Amino acid sequence: MSISPLMPVYPRCGVRPVRGEHCHLISDDGRRFLDFAAGIAVNALGHSHQGLIGALQKQAETLMHVSNLYGSPQGEDVAKRLTELTFADTVFFTNSGAEAVECSIKTARAYHQSAGSERFEIITFDNAFHGRTLATISASSQEKMHKGFYPLLPGFKYVEFNDLEAAKAAIGPNTAAFLVEPIQGEGGIRIATDEFLQGLRALCDEHDLLLILDEVQSGVGRSGTFYAYEQYGITPDIMATAKGIGGGFPVGACLATEKAARGMVAGTHGSTYGGNPFAMAAIGAVLDVVPDEAFLADVRAKGERLRSRIGQFIGNYPDLFEDVRGRGLFIGIKLKVEPRGFVAHMRDNHQVLTVSAGDNVVRVVPPLVIDDTHIDEFMEKLSAAAASYTVEKAD
Ligand SMILES: *Cc1c(COP(=O)(O)O)cnc(C)c1O
């Protein structure tokens, strides 16, 4: 037998982490890495955070799982906190980002179909990433995710990101909603313009469509506000959240206004694990830290320091770097070359972890709890990596 016991769908690298310490990861061969990937924008509180560990230990000893057949004081408490912190009136808990987007799509269709309309179509945007289930790959225009998995789920139409006129032109009699990331993560830290998101909001109001935001990556403080939509002066009708919300525990949520959720009545949707007490303890620990205004102001300040230092530095290597962009600690360095080689070089030769993304971008998504020593360490490693990469390329 030649297939690996782990289904070989990931091209895994040679780093095999076995321990996390705050903003560093230690691999099984004893190497120590600065973790500016954070599990792809997941470990918002870094590794080994005492509040998160304590909450999970306590919950594991008390009650780990019960069915959604029963009342959930743990779920009610966390849902209430999330509704107080956001636009939403109601929350469905999931186990992942893709499931949160799935629930968002179902909520949008049910909004129309529970009221006697047959509308089903969701307009999405080029280079979007919404997850790897059949519905969520169907929601993305990226053919590399479709190949081998046809037929796709019908009912999605793709238009250019940040092109409001194209979005408007795509609206038809069956359109139910727009689904959009305010800041595209996998797509390469591409930021929606104010006019675009505000324009989508206005189109939704005008045509009785729902605005679904996928904030799975941009949310939970990553972009410098609790959710990125706050920076646009608009609110969505439905929003998917995950990644940072569990600080490393696999959990997500679909948030909605009362009106948008009008079709989601008893018996329409469910999940065996969704919102179990263990997952609620993880979210509770993250909510104890991240939504605090002083914490978020610190994320914005650190993000600005890191971005401006990267911006000043990359001018030294105009053949390698093009620009730096982002909000908060959701940062992308655009290269003039394919980024995977440089990400691997930084990792293998300079012990710093980042993630490649679309549009030739290196994603820099550290834990939100970094301090200036981590920024210094990152800049030293980036600088050493750029110097040695140029030399290697010149050989
Ligand atoms: C990661 C991501 C998802 C999918 O989340 P999973 O937990 O991997 O299912 C969906 N949307 C966006 C924007 C993401 O970044």
For residue 394, the model assigns a pLDDT of 43
Question: Measured from the CB, is residue 101 less than 6 Å from ligand 1?
Answer: yes
Ligand 1 center from residue 40 Cα (angstroms):
10
Q: Atom 10 (ligand 1): residue with closest C-alpha? A: 130
Q: How would CATH label the architecture of 17-48+293-394?
A: Alpha-Beta Complex (3.90)
How far apart CA 299 and CA 248 sit, in angstroms, is 19
Q: Which two tokens stand for residue 244?
A: 């940072």
- The answer to whether the CB of 185 is under 6 A from ligand 1 is yes
Q: Which atom of ligand 1 is nearest to the CA of 96?
A: 7
Task: Note the pLDDT of residue 210.
Answer: 98
Report residue 291 CA to chain centroid gap. 16
Find the 378 Cα to ligand 1 centroid distance in Å: 26
**Which of 130, 134, 189 most suits a substitution to test ligand 1, by most atoms within 8 Å of the C-beta?**
130
Q: 98 CB less than 6 Å from ligand 1?
A: yes
pLDDT of residue 1: 83
Residue 130 beta carbon below 6 angstroms from any ligand 1 atom: yes
Cis peptide before 339 (omega within 30 of 0): no
Show the CA angle centred on residue 261, arms to residues 257 and 265, nearest 5°: 145
Please tell me the distance between residue 138's alpha carbon and the centre of ligand 1 in angstroms.
14
Position in ligand 1 atom list of the atom nearest CA 181: 13
Pairing status of strand 32-35 against strand 352-353: parallel
User: Within 13 Å, how many C-alpha atoms sit on residue 34's CB side?
Assistant: 23
249 in contact with ligand 1, CB cutoff 6 A:
no
- Does residue 43 have its Cβ closer than 6 Å to ligand 1? no
For residue 236, give every residue at least 6 positions away whose Cβ sits within 8 Å of its Cβ, in sequence order, or none: 87, 211, 212, 213, 229
Architecture of the domain made up of 50-287? 3-Layer(aba) Sandwich (3.40)
Please name which of 65, 95, 68, 90 lies closest in space to residue 80, comparing C-alpha atoms. Answer: 90
Residue 327 — φ and ψ, nearest 5°? Answer: -135, 140
CA of 391 to the centre of ligand 1 (A): 36
Say yes or no: CB of residue 248 within 6 Å of ligand 1: no
Q: Would you say the CB of residue 274 lies under 6 angstroms from ligand 1? A: no
Distance in Å, CA 319 to ligand 1 centroid: 32
What is the distance of C-alpha 27 from the center of its chain?
25
CATH topology agreement for domains 17-48+293-394 and 50-287: no
The ligand 1 atom nearest the CA atom of 242: 7
Distance 390 CA to ligand 1 centre (A): 33
Give me the residue spans of the domains in the chain.
17-48+293-394, 50-287
**pTM tops 0.95:** yes
pLDDT tens, position by position, 267-307: 999 999 999 999 999 999 999 999 999 999 999 999 999 99
Ligand 1 centre from 97 Cα, in Å? 4
Q: What is the pLDDT of residue 363?
A: 98
Per-residue pLDDT tens digits for 164-173: 999 999 999 9
pLDDT of residue 393: 52
358 lines ligand 1 (CB under 6 A): no
Counting as low any pLDDT under 50, the low residues of the chain are 391, 394-395
**d(C-alpha 329, C-alpha 291), whole Å:** 15
Binding site membership of 97 for ligand 1 (Cβ less than 6 Å): yes
